[in-house]
Amino acid sequence: MSKSPEGNRSARGDQADIQAVSRVSQILALFDPATPEVTAGEVAERLGLNRTTAYRYCTSLVAAGLLERSAEGGYVPGGLLLQLGGFAIGHRRVISLAPRHMQSLSRATQTSVVLSLWGLTGPVVSRVEENLSTIVVVSVRVGSHLPLDTAQSKVFLAYHADQLSMERLMANLSGTARDELRADVERVRVVGHCSAMSTPGVVAVAAPVFDEYGICATIAIVGPDNTLSMSDDAPELRVVVETARELTHELGGHYRPDDLDQRAV
């Protein structure tokens, strides 16, 4: 039984709408702390579009308030996008409850503390509590998108509710890197935390934070590798896990039953 011309046109229209939404999300995903502005030419190059199509998309997004023209002639996130971002973060209870816990953790470990939420394809740094009492201050910019090989990413990959999507993210890596990441993620599921070299000379120690729906954030301490240990028996690790558990309970979540304290009993 063949479709009517009207039905074919409707199906093509639906497909075009879906493609347009997907393209808009790809354009908005180009923005990060290292790319605060893009041109239509850069959009075309990075997404494989012709310049006319890229310009048409950017112009439409400006009209919708999702982008704005910059003084230099490029495009930056628009007022509607900023409004929605602020609204989304404002409704994450963990953002409002975390500062007190982060301050205590920073004082206890003499390190900077980073709270990350899951973004589109990885953790996004949402709050930082810097430790200013030491000569060397290690920090991370709010808004930074963390790569998959960081401690915070591995914790999210281990506990994210959508494991199919997590597996797809890991599948994009090369063979050796993918196998190593999968092994690290499996270890996180066993021990409940992760320590990793985030950048040369800098160690991050991370633990998951849960609300009633599952993992909602990671909390991590960062410091120089000559002062912060990646060992499973490091005293700083226990404080990180304890902080994550306290924040989880305050959010009404359920912390992993096999956490450090219970395994130590």
The CATH number given to whatever domain includes residue 121 is 3.30.450.40
Inter-residue contact 88 to 237 (CB < 8 Å)? no
The SS3 assignment for 223 reads strand
Confidence band, pLDDT 50/70/90 cuts, at residue 136 = low
Please indicate, yes or no, whether residues 125 and 252 belong to a single structural domain of this protein.
Answer: yes
Beta bridge partners of 3: none
Flag whether pLDDT at 192 surpasses 70: yes
Domain limit, last residue, from 49, 80, 111: 80
246: its two tokens: 């306290």
Choose among 53, 1, 6: nearest CA to 27: 53
In a domain, 86, yes or no: no
Q: Are 222 and 264 in contact (CB under 8 A)?
A: no
**What beta strand segments (E) does 18-122 contain?**
67-69, 75-77, 112-118
- CA 122 to chain centroid, in Å, comes to 4
**Average pLDDT taken over every residue of the chain:** 86
The residues pairing with 16 across neighbouring beta strands, listed in sequence order, are none
Same domain assignment for residues 165 and 135: yes
Range of the domain at 170: 92-264
Give the per-residue pLDDT at 35: 87
State which of 35, 55, 80 marks the end of a domain.
Answer: 80
Residues 147-154, mean pLDDT to the nearest whole number = 95
* Same-domain pairing of 67 and 131: no
Same domain, 216 and 135: yes
Tell me the pLDDT tens digit for each residue of 81-112. Answer: 877 776 676 557 899 999 999 999 999 999 99
Burial of 207 (C-beta count, 10 Å sphere; 0-12/13-18/19+): buried
Both 178 and 240 in a single domain?
Answer: yes
Report residue 262's pLDDT band, with 50, 70 and 90 as the boundaries: very low
Is 169 found in the same domain as 118? yes
The number of domains in the chain is: 2
Tokens describing residue 124: 């996004």
Task: Give the angle subtended at the CA of 95 by the CAs of 92 and 98, to the nearest 5°.
Answer: 135
Q: Which two tokens stand for residue 45?
A: 């190059």
User: What is the amino acid identity at position 255?
Assistant: Y
What CATH number is given to the structural domain containing 68? 1.10.10.10
Q: What is the pLDDT of residues 218-231, one digit of tens each?
A: 999 998 888 888 89
Q: Say whether both 126 and 244 belong to one domain.
A: yes
User: Is residue 85 a part of any domain in this protein?
Assistant: no
**Residue 87 counted as domain residue:** no
Q: Does any domain span residue 106? A: yes
Between these two residues, 12 and 209, which has the higher pLDDT value? Answer: 209
Q: Take residue 241 and report the two structure tokens written for it.
A: 């896990």
> How high is the pLDDT of residue 237?
95
Q: Which residues contact 125 (CB under 8 A, 6 or more apart)?
A: 114, 115, 116, 140, 141, 142, 143, 144, 146
Whether residue 47 is found in the same domain as residue 72:
yes
Can you give the C-alpha Rg of the chain in angstroms?
A: 21
The CA distance from 13 to 21, in Å, is: 12
Q: Is residue 60 part of a domain?
A: yes
Q: Give the end of a domain, one of 24, 52, 80.
A: 80
Kindly tell me if the per-residue pLDDT of 13 is higher than 60: no
Task: Tell me, yes or no, whether 74 and 96 share the same domain.
Answer: no
Helix axes 163-171, 151-159, angle to 10 degrees: 140
pLDDT at 226: 84
- The β-bridge relationship of strands 123-129 and 67-69 is unpaired
Question: What Å distances lie between residue 216 and 110, 153, 161, CA to CA?
Answer: 25, 12, 10
Do 177 and 235 share a domain, yes or no? yes
**Cα gap 159→90, rounded to integer Å:** 23
